[in-house]
Structure 1
């Protein structure tokens, strides 16, 4: 006998439908608004207590995202991102090379700067490249999406789900562990993506030479601070990789990397309030609301009962992989 449906599950289903259709009548909804409404409904209907809802929000994830969003916003707003993008992409002499550089450059960068941040700051970069070189914006935006999704897999700070696994999985040296098992598959899939995009967008690949133009830095003070923040991220990641196997007793959480990196911008920039206003608060609201809604759903025991009654051993590698692939299409992968 299947477990009975209840209100949190109905609310979750309604949220999924709203996210899919995005519109009721003339009213359009963003994904974060749909998730927030779901969280508020389970709160106001008493399906989850406020204290439990607050505890369900993973502050490590929230603070990490906040810190990385600050760094990303500083890089974008100062013009430093466009500047270093020019210095990187100017080496591309053909469209093949440009696409490979987008996939591998942004893919590898997303492993250390969080794919949400790279998606936000990378969008204007690839749109600029599309305009300059007469390439399909759809092609380059898809390349960006594939790059940040695939590239972020190989690092514990590449995406929120990896961060949760690294924080709660008891992995002693998450950077080395992730790279050991996921570096080669990630690089292989990035190259396969290149072949796939070439197949579906053949008209964008011809022999005309690319012409690059330099993008000026818009705010030199903020650019200096953003560059410092970027270096802090890389330095602390390297420090965590080196110190973990040495057993020095030095412990700093992944969250500390992001928050420390954001300090030069938050403390030193005269534009700190503008940056704080412009970071992606909607994504932060989405994650907070999702934690609350999913905790409410989990506490119904529906999925636990369903798994128990199925008699399937979900602890095997094959089942974990299959269930993760299927359910992540329906429920947030976080």
Structure 2
């Protein structure tokens, strides 16, 4: 039963090198090989593999990918980007706009949504102003990960904790415990980026040129889809605040919002063809591999054996940051949450789990699904990538700083 864990470690190593001999591998291919390995060695059956694929996540991503593709293809995304960033007149302002704008938007539109929409935006900024695209991609990754901490619908693991962690008034609790430290952590991300990319922070005044819409009809439909997406997210927040018993899933939000660009759009086939299918394949493969690792019981045994020593806030933060690198943040929360609940840990401990499992995404590429989305989109649309080492060398100090800030605020 240890074989799935070995396969997972090999996937992790391949993600670092992205190379087998002279063959260069994409992230979706590496994860696909991992899923294929556990299938061929009978660590998981075909039927179990199919049932392990979370269709809610797959359909959510499909809907948001469709909206993002339409926004970009119509030119409307460029116009939205111009209106948002035109007030940023230098590099410092650009980075702060990305960190705080994308960060707080991810708290309500979900981090994966902002990763999809934000990647072409930052690539466009990089081209227009001759900015290092790697710096902007890192800023986007850190923004959507860190910003999503503050809301129970900012990411899937927060939602799981809000629904199953017996937290009263989740929106209020998340804001009360996590808003201020998250603001400090977004500021910390700015200083870390400025330290590592200090030669790129010039004082040159940036001039933004207004883009043109290239397809008026698709732009109108894209705008309608974007408005629908925001409206339905607000409706979901209202349903939760009023404690209305109605299963209004994020999947429904994404698919309903995508109707204008998929049904009313004459370019629908072109749109669907141009979507990022490789990222969807990555997620399907990840679900299969993680299910196999879950079935091995390896990490469940580790947590069960050490449960008395891992319920303090510092240990919750550290363990969730580290283990999220290996089994992803949602499975980690699914494992950890019952241990904390049975130990009658208070809201601070549960929110430490939310914070730790989320900022784990700032440590490495595999720490968050949004990182994979950003890198896949950047490779496809901008012919630029972030290697594991490039991400890791900046992510490590940032994650240490952010973990310390959350520990200070949640412990005292």
- Which TM-score bucket, shorter chain as reference? 0.7 to 0.9
Cα distance, 1:327–1:70 mapped onto 2, change above 3 Å:
same
Aligned pairs for 1:217-232 within 5 A: 217-232=213-228
Partner of 1:58: 54
SS in 1 for 2:4: helix
DSSP 3-state at the match of 1:103: helix
When residues 247 and 206 of structure 1 are mapped into structure 2, their CA distance, relative to the original with a 3 A threshold, is closer
Tell which deviates more after alignment, 319-328 or 104-113.
Answer: 104-113
Greater Cα offset, 97-106 or 193-202:
193-202
Alignment match, 2:16: 20
Indicate the SS of the match to 1:299.
helix
> Which range moves more in the overlay, 180-189 or 102-111?
180-189
Cα 1:173–1:330 shift into 2, 3 Å: same
CA contact (8 A) 2:107 2:154 kept: yes
TM-score normalised by L of structure 1: 0.87
Contact 1:176 1:241 in 2 (8 A): no
How far 1:292 moved relative to its partner?
1.4
Match of 2:196 in 1: 200
Partner-residue secondary structure (3-state), 2:248: coil
Task: Tell me the alpha carbon deviations over residues 275-299 of structure 1, each in whole angstroms, 9 at most, x when there is no partner.
Answer: 2222222222222211211211221
Alpha-carbon displacement from aligned partner over 1:75-121 (angstroms, at most 9, x marks no partner): 11211111111111112233322221122122223334443443344
TM-superposition CA deviations, 1:126-155 (whole Å, max 9, x none): 233234334333332322222222223333
Flag the 1:306–1:84 CA change in 2: closer, same or farther, 3 A.
closer
Residues in 2 aligned to 1:22 and 1:329: alpha-carbon distance in whole angstroms: 17
Secondary structure, in 3 states, of the residue corresponding to 1:330?
helix
Q: What's the counterpart of residue 95 of structure 2?
A: 99
Structure 2 unaligned segments of length 5 or more: list them.
Answer: 331-412
Q: Per-residue displacement from partner, 1:148-187 (whole Å, max 9, x unpaired)?
A: 2222333344444445545665778655554444333322
Number of aligned positions between the proteins: 330
Could you report, residue by residue, the CA deviation over 1:298-326 in whole angstroms, capped at 9, with x for unpaired residues? 21222233344456444444433221111
Note closer, same or farther for the CA distance 1:223–1:171 as it changes in structure 2 (3 Å cut): farther
Matched, 1:79 2:75: yes
- The answer as to 2:124 corresponding to 1:128 is yes
Bigger helix share: 2
Q: Distance in 1 between matches of 2:175 and 2:66?
A: 26
Distance 2:255 2:167 in 1: 21
Match of 1:141 among 120, 123, 137: 137
Give the superposition deviation at 1:264. Answer: 1.3
Cα distance in 2, alignment partners of residues 139 and 36 from structure 1: 28
Whether the 8 Å CA contact 1:79–1:223 is kept in 2: the answer is yes
Is 2:181 the partner of 1:185? yes
Report the counterpart of residue 272 of structure 1 in structure 2.
268
Query: What residue in structure 1 maps to residue 35 of structure 2?
Result: 39
Q: Describe the shift of the 1:319–1:267 C-alpha distance in structure 2 as closer, same or farther (beyond 3 A).
A: same
**Which structure 1 residue ranges, 5 or more long, are not aligned?**
none
